[in-house]
Amino acid sequence: MQKSTQAGFWKKNQRALAPWFFMAPGIIMFLVYVIYPIFQSIGISFYEWDGLGPKTYVGLQNYRDLLDDDSFYTSLKNNVIWLVLYLLAIPAGLAVALFLNQTVAGIRLYKSLFFFPFVISQVVVGLIFTWFYAPGFGILPHVINFFTGTPTAILADDKYATYGVIAAGLWPQTAYCMILYLTGLNNISPDQVEAARMDNAKGWSMLWHIIIPQLRPATFIALVVTVIGALRSFDLISVMTVGGPFGSTRVLSYFMYEQSLSEYGTAMGYGAAIAVVLFAIMLVFISLFIVRMLSQERNA
Amino acid sequence: MFPKPIAQSGPWTQRAYKTLLPIALVLWLLPLIGIAITSIRPGSDLASGNYFGMPSGFAGWENYSSVFKNSNIGYYILNSFRVTIPTVIGAVGLSCLTGYALAVYKFKGNLAVFFMFVAGNFVPFQILAIPVRDLTLHMGLYNTMTGLVLFHIAFQTGFCTLFMRNFMKALPFALIESARVEGVSEFRIFWHIILPLVRPAMAALAVLIFTFIWNDYFWATVMAQSVDVRPVTAGMNELKGQYKVAWELISAAAIVAALPPVAMFFLMQKHFIAGLTLGATKG
């Protein structure tokens, strides 16, 4: 008797309970490893802590210290430079995609090879560009020497180093945007393009008025991945400059790593405060993306 | 089609385009080509200043075997596989479940759960790092494969859920309805009807996650210390310190480290691009 009522309960409520059973493992993992740690980090940022000993509550002191720290401003400035210059990957990706959107023999292979830089890890990209920039045996200093007469060692010069690292990052990022746009171009309605051609639209005006509006979904995704990629930049800096010369290529993510995670980094509270600032900046963008995706969901 | 198909333009334009293509490609891949050539150069070339000219001989064999003999790269590559493969299985598996729940069932909080996964996927790693390392330490899993894999599975479940849920939303719902009318249990519907239909999505996710995890550097550095755990991305950086300016060896190691995801990409290109461009066409 007992058993049959249980079975009846399950039968009646199966539809309501099933989704939670399906989601439980994923949700638990995600809460434990992603959502909860965000709040823990915010908590840690109010303490002074070396990672092992007891924590001392210091209120907003870590944040006040940040405001007096030149490295913080350098990092913040570099984050802005990264963000602005990284956005170049979007028009560059579109340009490459337009260049490759043809149907000549072997074009598929060309497209794959142009996409190549994105598949390689950033560590390898960083090594490749370090070599490319290296004074003496890199190609670029020779080229610069040819034009200006002085072989500039880009990564050793605090004026240029950040730009050198960003250029390395733009290489795979442009490839990524290119593939998004190639897919977008593939799905453009040929009727509209033909109709516009009948109306004598061509070249730039065609691109601006007919093509780009139809590429909006691709542009949105390109924007999301580029902004997030720019603010997450870490690998290239770690491999190419280790934050130097003189800390001039630090960004918030790398600054945080130095403070809390590297071999000598034991300032957990301070690092957490840096991470919270980075998180707050990203939250602005994440919210914008989510709002847009949510309105799409509602319209669907 | 835009731009205008080149076949419709004059023979000169066509010829110009076909000449320009390989030139553009070589310029685009110049850094990569440079490092590939360097990796087969004899060390003496670099010593005598022959950086860009024809290699004076083929030393690929020596360079590559020297990298494997004199460094830990063999272990690092193995470690990368040992981190990557379980993560792919775990994250794809979990996201089939979450994606199914979010795509098929209407319940309160559906969108909230969905956007928790989406938003979590965008956070900076640094805000997770201290607590995650601490948690892993307390579980006794610091500097182990399991510790690294568990985190990767959890984090990648965010992206995979977004992907799976959107893919499953496009499946014919009538199929599920008719099975329900027949009295098939919810789990059996998932197992026997849905899973076979989402195989392409699983393949796409598998290649993507393989590449993401293989190329991960931050977590590899933060969570793995010793030679028997450290994946190849973190190991590469160590090699760079070991070899200093022996660029023929660094280049060879870089090529080796890059090879598995590149092979994966070329073998599963269709799936890879389908995964990456999901959403680039609609919405």
User: Quick check: A32 and B135 in contact, CB under 8 A?
Assistant: yes
Residue A1 has pLDDT above 50, yes or no: no
Collapsing DSSP states into helix, strand and coil, what is residue B141?
coil
The minimal CB distance from A275 to the residues B122, B126, B281 is found for B126
B76 interfaces chain A, CB cutoff of 8 Å: no
Nearest to A259 by CA among A68, A71, A55, A47: A71
In this predicted structure, what is the pLDDT of residue A224?
92
Residues of chain B neighbouring A282 (CB-CB closer than 8 A):
122-124
Residues of chain B neighbouring A25 (CB-CB closer than 8 A):
94, 97
For an interface test with B, the pick among A41, A96, A123 (most B C-beta atoms closer than 10 Å) comes out as A123
A151 CB-near residues (< 8 Å, 6+ apart): A135, A141, A142, A144, A145
In this predicted structure, what is the pLDDT of residue B282?
53
Nearest to B24 by CA among A97, A226, A185, A90: A97
CA angle A148, A150, A152 (to 5 degrees): 105
Quote the tokens at residue B150.
């568990």
Please, what's the b/e burial string for A35-53 (b: 16 or more CB within 10 A of its CB; e: otherwise)? bebbebbbebbbbbbebee
* Distance between CA atoms of residues A81 and B267, nearest Å: 37
- The string of pLDDT tens digits covering residues A285-298 is 999 999 998 888 88
Residues in A 66-95 with any Cβ partner in B closer than 8 A: none
B135 interfaces chain A, CB cutoff of 8 Å: yes
* Amino acid (1-letter code) at residue B234: A
Residue A4 has pLDDT above 60, yes or no: no
Please, what's the b/e burial string for B54-70 (b: 16 or more CB within 10 A of its CB; e: otherwise)? ebeeebbebbbebbeee
A38 interfaces chain B, CB cutoff of 8 Å: yes
User: Quick check: B224 and B146 in contact, CB under 8 A?
Assistant: no
Phi and psi torsions of A51, nearest 5°: 95, -20
Residue of chain A nearest B208, judged by CA positions: A119
Regarding predicted confidence, which is higher, A275 or B186?
A275
B8 interfaces chain A, CB cutoff of 8 Å: no
Residues of chain B neighbouring A188 (CB-CB closer than 8 A):
1-2
Residue at token pair 């490319």:
A132
Residues of chain A neighbouring B240 (CB-CB closer than 8 A):
127, 239
Cβ A129–B95 below 8 Å, yes or no?
no
From first to last of its 283 residues, what are the pLDDT tens digits of chain B?
A: 678 787 788 888 888 999 999 999 999 998 888 888 888 888 777 766 666 677 777 888 888 988 888 888 899 999 999 999 999 999 999 999 999 999 999 998 999 999 999 999 999 999 999 999 999 999 999 999 999 999 999 999 999 999 999 999 888 888 888 998 888 888 899 999 999 999 989 998 999 999 999 999 999 999 988 888 999 999 888 888 777 778 888 889 999 999 999 998 888 888 888 877 776 665 4
* Distance between CA atoms of residues B103 and A20, nearest Å: 13
- The string of pLDDT tens digits covering residues B58-72 is 888 888 988 888 888
- Bridge partners, A48 (sequence order): A56
The minimal CB distance from B100 to the residues A22, A102, A120 is found for A22
Quote the tokens at residue B120.
């979590």
Residues of chain B neighbouring A292 (CB-CB closer than 8 A):
none
Cα separations in angstroms, B270 against A265, A285, B58, B208, B276: 43, 31, 35, 11, 10
Residue A89 has pLDDT above 60, yes or no: yes
For an interface test with B, the pick among A15, A23, A278 (most B C-beta atoms closer than 10 Å) comes out as A23
- The string of pLDDT tens digits covering residues A126-149 is 988 988 888 776 777 777 777 877
The alpha carbon of residue B59 is apart from the nearest alpha carbon of chain A, in Å, by 18
Q: For chain B, give me the number of helices (H) and strands (E)? A: 16, 0
A189 interfaces chain B, CB cutoff of 8 Å: no
- pLDDT band of A270, cuts 50, 70, 90: very high
Cβ A25–B94 below 8 Å, yes or no?
yes
* Distance between CA atoms of residues A132 and A188, nearest Å: 38
Residue A3 has pLDDT above 60, yes or no: no
Cβ A129–B105 below 8 Å, yes or no?
no
Residues of chain A neighbouring B101 (CB-CB closer than 8 A):
18-20, 22-23
**Inter-chain contacts counted by CB atoms under 8 A, chains A and B:** 294
Cα separations in angstroms, B234 against A77, A122, B73, B139, B260: 27, 11, 10, 23, 16
A294 interfaces chain B, CB cutoff of 8 Å: yes
- The string of pLDDT tens digits covering residues B176-234 is 889 988 888 888 999 999 999 999 899 989 999 999 999 999 999 999 888 889 999 99
Residues of chain A neighbouring B215 (CB-CB closer than 8 A):
120-123
Cβ A19–B131 below 8 Å, yes or no?
no
A19 interfaces chain B, CB cutoff of 8 Å: yes
For an interface test with A, the pick among B122, B173, B242 (most A C-beta atoms closer than 10 Å) comes out as B122
Residue of chain B nearest A29, judged by CA positions: B154
CA angle B129, B236, B268 (to 5 degrees): 85
Cβ A289–B95 below 8 Å, yes or no?
no
**Superfamily designation of domain A69-299:** MetI-like (1.10.3720.10)
